């Protein structure tokens, strides 16, 4: 009886002790999450092994869905020399541990603690920037890959980063400062009665360098491995899937065993130091003020008060094929004489081919003349500034490389120019007409070759944006047309770092003999036509996804090739936005707002003062087509309305930032594939699924072509 009394008294004493120390640990984590001790049997999926052993475990509870903790961190506001011995003593009742003590560089912290360190140490962020980022950016400016203003902006962004951890950061003196640590592990191998493996880990390490005062972290976790019940032979045979893979033979759960946690907690409670609890190191990451780099986003909606212009509709499909044919329209060009050049893919009795036609209006209606047919190509059409030569690429044999094909508008004949490249370089070429009205090809190269001078931290990278120009003007007969590399810009290597969206630089449809404009992740940039050096760069408002006031980078998908007007001094780039709310929407669009619904349009950038007109087309999924008038006075955008509501086209007066008229194509439900202004300036054309749409513009809106001034268009 006396022995029983002593045992009860001991248990009561332990219970009282636990009750006394429980108040020393906050009831919530550093992020406000509640914690508690619970039976693992309540969580058989998250603590399978512990449940089988009838153990108690640590549980997180957000008030809705409690879950098993796989790790716990205890931050003690006290020196490592007092915390580590206390933890070591607390573990003695649990058996033998394999322990190791060491001193490590700040360059090598446990996972997640790098962010905490950098968030609290601006001097270390500066050391990383000065040691790694600055030399590279200085070289980028020297080589013309970025502008000095871009370097200044990037440096400000880098100095606010907490996720920058270069692999060789230990080469910096600031990261060679050491901190002490102690690691203890205990492995429990499977026995006859228990077919599970468990590894209990307890780490203690000094974090004084992060907090500016004596501080130590205790990290407790246990990994439980167990056989996968679905990995047995009979189970696999019954669930066999020829396309699937075999299930993992061993599965794992992470838990924090309550007895170990309580013992360590009680030991720390005996120290005269504050203790905090958290799930991850990020609970102690401090916010770092970020530089405001995103240009403001101010959307402008089409007006609803202008006169309505009704479209004329003309069927083109019946002129070129049967009504049963499958049609996939590509592109549309307006010619100076009023004819239309159009390309499409057709599947009919003659096969599945690409076609280019010329349409001519007569007193008896429209007539079609086939210009070319082939196996591949003709998805993009382009017209010289004088309107006398049309260009496209294609091949009559799907196994042969594409050729550049020039169409003499006056003589109505084709000239084919094969290219002097390897077959792999000829697939799906990307080209635009330059200021001399000759094609320039653009490609993305990856060069692994380096020299000794490049093998340091200033190396820009291996990626290049390359332009290839013809060696000579095109001949008047079929031939091989040699091209050479005009430049290879290292600006491509400067893309992709902390930026969103597609990383590849793309050319703007722009005609200038001295420079090329390109669209990239930050916005648009002007490149010297002979060297590829960046002459200037303009950051753009958000073009893709949910508007982010801190980061507007990223090229949009599902939009036309960027379209520019050298005479109008502007460039338009497409956007597809998915706003969280209607705060950024113009008043006229707030009533139709759908959370995360797409809003499409184009940012029109004034190249003289940098002003941006963010012209909205509407709430649609994609923006397939855009066109500009001859002198750049007007920009047209077209798409299919919501729920296949038919063509939606808006005409924007660029200088005034408004839509002077409303363009109506009802009751058609067609998609819009391409747009084109007439050279006379009085008509706006749209290419539909099986028809042309024509809006006859009032005389006040005419923008007639003149020598050197011509309409242009682009599509996605």
Q: Give the tens place of pLDDT for each residue, 121-166.
A: 999 999 999 999 999 999 999 999 999 999 999 999 999 999 988 8
pLDDT digits (tens, 9 = 90+) for 531-567: 999 999 999 999 999 998 888 889 999 999 999 999 9
pLDDT over 70 (residue 422): no
Does residue 646 belong to any structural domain of this protein? yes
Does residue 8 belong to any structural domain of this protein? no
- Selection from 225, 205, 215 nearest residue 112 by Cα: 205
Is 517 in the same domain as 550? yes
pLDDT at 691: 95
Is 542 in the same domain as 565? yes
Long-range contacts of 639-642 (CB under 8 A, 24+ apart): 639/600, 639/672, 640/670, 640/671, 640/672, 642/618
Q: Give the list of residues 6+ apart from residue 233 with CB closer than 8 angstroms, or none.
A: none
Instruction: Summarize the confidence of residues 62-88 as an average pLDDT.
Output: 96
Q: Which CATH number goes with the domain that contains 711?
A: 2.130.10.10
DSSP letter, residue 550? T
Does residue 77 belong to any structural domain of this protein? yes
Does residue 347 belong to any structural domain of this protein? yes
Residue 441, Cβ density class (10 Å: 0-12 exposed, 13-18 middle, ≥19 buried): buried
The tokens for 601 are 């349009």
Does residue 293 belong to any structural domain of this protein? no
pLDDT at 190: 59
Q: What's the gap between Cα 610 and its chain centre? A: 24
pLDDT at 398: 81
pLDDT over 90 (residue 34): yes
Is 436 in the same domain as 577? yes
pLDDT over 90 (residue 503): no
Does residue 1 belong to any structural domain of this protein? no
Does residue 5 belong to any structural domain of this protein? no
Mean pLDDT computed over every residue of the chain: 89
**d(Cα 9, Cα 358) in Å, to the nearest integer?**
102
Is 125 in the same domain as 61? no
pLDDT over 80 (residue 493): yes
Backbone angles phi, psi at 639, to 5 degrees: -160, -175
**What is the layout of strands, in order, in the sheet containing 351-362?**
326-334, 340-348, 351-362, 365-374
User: What is the helix (H) or strand (E) element at residue 48, kind and residue range?
Assistant: helix 48-52
Is 432 in the same domain as 355? yes
CB 633 within 8 A of CB 643: no
pLDDT at 334: 98
pLDDT at 595: 78
Is 679 in the same domain as 630? yes
162: containing domain: 108-176
> Which among 150, 176, 202 is the end of a domain?
176
Alpha helix (H) residue ranges in 159-277: 208-211, 233-238, 258-269
Looking at the structure of the chain, the number of domains it has is 3
Packing angle, helices 148-158 and 134-142, rounded to 10: 170
**d(Cα 644, Cα 500) in Å, to the nearest integer?**
30
pLDDT at 8: 35
Is 690 in the same domain as 605? yes
Is 679 in the same domain as 689? yes
Does residue 7 belong to any structural domain of this protein? no
DSSP letter, residue 175? G
> Which among 225, 260, 288 is the end of a domain?
288
Is 541 in the same domain as 584? yes
Backbone angles phi, psi at 94, to 5 degrees: -95, 5
> Which among 176, 191, 224 is the end of a domain?
176
CB 38 within 8 A of CB 66: yes
Q: Does residue 385 sit in helix, strand or coil?
A: coil
Is 308 in the same domain as 277? no
Half-sphere exposure of residue 535: CA atoms within 13 angstroms, side-chain side: 13
**d(Cα 82, Cα 218) in Å, to the nearest integer?**
12
Q: What is the dihedral of CA 130, 131, 135, 137, to 10 degrees?
A: -60
Is 29 in the same domain as 101? yes
Instruction: Summarize the confidence of residues 565-580 as an average pLDDT.
Output: 95
Least confident segment among 75-79, 463-467, 501-505, 642-646? 642-646
Highest average pLDDT, of 192-201, 410-419, 495-504, 592-601, comes from: 410-419
pLDDT digits (tens, 9 = 90+) for 662-715: 999 999 999 999 999 999 999 999 999 999 999 999 999 999 999 989 999 999
CB 73 within 8 A of CB 219: yes
Is 60 in the same domain as 127? no
CB 356 within 8 A of CB 343: yes
């Amino acid at each position: 009886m006396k022995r029983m009394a002593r045992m009860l008294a001991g248990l009561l004493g332990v219970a009282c002790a636990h009750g006394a120390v429980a108040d020393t640990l906050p009831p919530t984590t550093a992020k406000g999450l509640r914690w508690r001790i619970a039976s693992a049997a309540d969580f058989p999926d998250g603590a399978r092994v512990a449940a089988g052993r009838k153990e108690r475990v640590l549980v997180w509870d957000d008030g809705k869905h409690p879950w098993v903790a796989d790790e716990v961190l205890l931050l003690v506001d006290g020196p490592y020399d007092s915390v580590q011995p206390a933890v070591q003593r607390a573990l003695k009742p649990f058996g033998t541990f394999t322990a190791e003590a060491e001193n490590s560089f700040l360059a090598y912290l446990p996972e997640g603690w790098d962010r905490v360190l950098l968030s609290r140490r601006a001097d270390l962020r500066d050391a990383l920037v000065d040691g790694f980022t600055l030399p590279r950016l200085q070289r980028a400016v020297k080589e013309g890959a970025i502008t000095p203003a871009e370097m200044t902006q990037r440096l400000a962004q880098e100095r606010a980063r907490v996720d920058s951890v270069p692999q060789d950061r230990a080469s910096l003196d600031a990261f060679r400062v050491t901190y002490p640590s102690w690691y203890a592990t205990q492995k429990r191998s499977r026995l006859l009665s228990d077919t599970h493996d468990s590894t209990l880990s307890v780490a203690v390490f000094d974090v004084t360098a992060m907090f500016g005062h004596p501080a130590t972290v205790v990290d407790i976790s246990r990994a439980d491995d167990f056989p996968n019940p679905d990995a047995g032979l009979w189970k696999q045979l019954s669930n066999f899937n020829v396309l699937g893979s075999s299930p993992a033979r061993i599965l794992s759960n992470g838990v924090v065993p309550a007895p170990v946690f309580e013992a360590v907690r009680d030991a720390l409670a005996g120290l005269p130091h504050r203790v905090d609890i958290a799930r991850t190191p990020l609970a102690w990451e401090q916010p770092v003020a970020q530089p405001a780099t995103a240009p403001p986003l101010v959307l402008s909606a089409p007006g609803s008060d202008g006169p309505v212009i009704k479209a004329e509709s003309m069927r083109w499909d019946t002129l070129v094929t049967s009504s049963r044919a499958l049609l996939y329209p590509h592109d549309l060009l307006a010619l100076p004489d009023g004819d239309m050049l159009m390309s499409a893919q057709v599947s009919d009795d003659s096969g599945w081919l690409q076609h280019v036609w010329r349409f001519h209006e007569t007193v008896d209606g429209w007539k079609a003349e086939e210009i070319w047919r082939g196996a591949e190509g003709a998805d993009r059409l382009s017209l010289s500034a004088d309107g006398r030569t049309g260009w496209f690429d294609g091949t009559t044999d799907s196994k042969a490389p594409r050729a550049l094909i020039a169409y003499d508008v006056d003589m109505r004949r084709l000239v084919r120019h094969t290219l002097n490249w390897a077959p792999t370089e000829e697939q799906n070429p990307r080209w635009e007409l330059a200021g001399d009205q000759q094609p320039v090809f653009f490609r993305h190269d990856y060069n692994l070759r380096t020299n000794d001078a490049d093998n340091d931290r200033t190396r820009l990278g291996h990626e290049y944006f390359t332009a290839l120009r013809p060696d000579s003007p095109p001949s008047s007969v079929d031939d091989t047309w040699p091209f050479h590399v005009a430049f290879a810009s290292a600006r491509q290597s400067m893309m992709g770092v902390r930026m969103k969206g597609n990383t590849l630089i793309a050319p703007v449809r722009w005609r200038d003999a001295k420079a090329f404009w390109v669209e990239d992740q930050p916005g648009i940039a002007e490149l010297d036509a002979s060297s590829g050096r960046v002459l200037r760069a303009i950051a753009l408002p958000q073009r893709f996804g949910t508007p982010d006031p801190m980061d507007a980078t990223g090229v949009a998908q599902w939009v036309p090739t960027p379209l520019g007007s050298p005479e109008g001094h502007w460039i338009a780039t497409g956007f597809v936005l998915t706003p969280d709310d209607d705060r950024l929407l113009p008043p006229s669009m707030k009533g139709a707002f759908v959370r995360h619904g797409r809003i499409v349009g184009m940012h029109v950038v004034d190249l003289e003062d940098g002003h941006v007109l963010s012209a909205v087309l509407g709430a649609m999924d994609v923006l397939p087509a855009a066109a500009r008038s001859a002198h750049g006075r007007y920009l047209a955008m077209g798409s299919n309305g919501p729920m296949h509501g038919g063509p939606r086209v808006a005409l924007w007066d660029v200088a005034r930032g408004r839509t002077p008229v409303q363009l109506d194509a009802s009751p058609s439900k067609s998609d819009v594939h391409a747009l084109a202004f007439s050279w006379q300036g009085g008509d706006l054309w749209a290419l539909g699924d099986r028809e042309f749409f024509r809006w006859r513009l009032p005389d006040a809106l005419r923008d007639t072509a003149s020598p050197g001034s011509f309409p242009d268009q682009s599509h996605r």
